[in-house]
Structure 1
Amino acid sequence: MARRKRNSEVLERADRRIESLRSISAELDFGSGLTLKAYTSTIDRLRSKLAAYNTALSSIDKLADDVSSAEQLVMAMSEKMLLGVGSRYGKTSQEYEMAGGSRRKVNRRTSSASPSTPSTTSSVPTASTNGSTNGTSPATVS
């Protein structure tokens, strides 16, 4: 993302002012260094500093892009190096872990692969101890 270049309202106002002062006289001199020539020189110094500042921002933008590109290159190569270690030594090896990878577990269980265990409780309802079944009164046996 490019940085915003800077404009100067002060410079714009000074440019308009110097145009107005030149319309009065091309050789204005108020003494104590307040001349049209000195004023023009001061404005030109500001203009050159602003141009240098904006040029520096452009250079910084380019350097930031260069750093991002270099980071992408290093990230890609890091991944390839880790894959190389995994290919040579295996992803379950200590070397893979030493290189920064996470060792895969050898005995991974998945929920669909695990056998279901038989239930220890019976699905047949049992008679309650108070003699009633399902809320009905017990039948008399003859």
Structure 2
Amino acid sequence: MGKGLSIQAYSALVEKTRQRVDAYNATVAMLDADRVVMQEAEKELQELTEKMLLGVAIEFGKDSPEYKIAGGIRKSERKRPDRKKANQSEPHPALS
């Protein structure tokens, strides 16, 4: 057909694209496997962090400055959830 349009050029580009897709899929598979390993490492680190924080709490208490330095939230600094107040204008269903 001329101007670089040939079955050979088309076939070569198809093969090049197929090789790129294979390389891409191999990279994705490797990243998926690495993601699993990374998640396991993060879980292990989280468990060790929790144990260490508990150790600090046992040694110094949950309201100590050491507990805060170790990454805990001091007992006296924790926010307590606000209790929702019942609407005064609506009667309680059990009283109706």
2:44 aligned partner? 73
Instruction: Name the larger-Rg structure.
Output: 1
2:92 aligned partner? none
Q: Which runs of 5 or more structure 2 residues have no equivalent in the other structure?
A: 77-96
Shift of 1:104: 4.0
Matched, 1:59 2:30: yes
Among all aligned residue pairs of Structure 1 and Structure 2, give the percentage whose two residues are the same amino acid: 37
Using structure 2 for the length normalisation, give the TM-score: 0.64
Specify whether residues 35 and 99 from structure 1 end up closer, same or farther in structure 2 by C-alpha distance, changes over 3 A only.
Answer: same
Residues 89-138 of structure 1: per-residue CA shift (max 9 Å, x gap)? 23343212322223346xxxxxxxxxxxxxxxxxxxxxxxxxxxxxxxxx
2:13 aligned partner? 42
Computed over aligned residues only, the root mean square deviation of the Cα atoms, in angstroms, reads: 1.9
How many corresponding residue pairs? 76
Q: Which runs of 5 or more structure 1 residues have no equivalent in the other structure?
A: 1-29, 106-142
Residue identity in the other structure for 2:40: S
Residue identity in the other structure for 1:85: V
Whose helix fraction is larger, Structure 1's or Structure 2's? 2
Q: Which runs of 4+ in 1 moved over 6 A?
A: none
Using structure 1 for the length normalisation, give the TM-score: 0.46
CA–CA distance in 1 between the matches of 2:70 and 2:4? 70
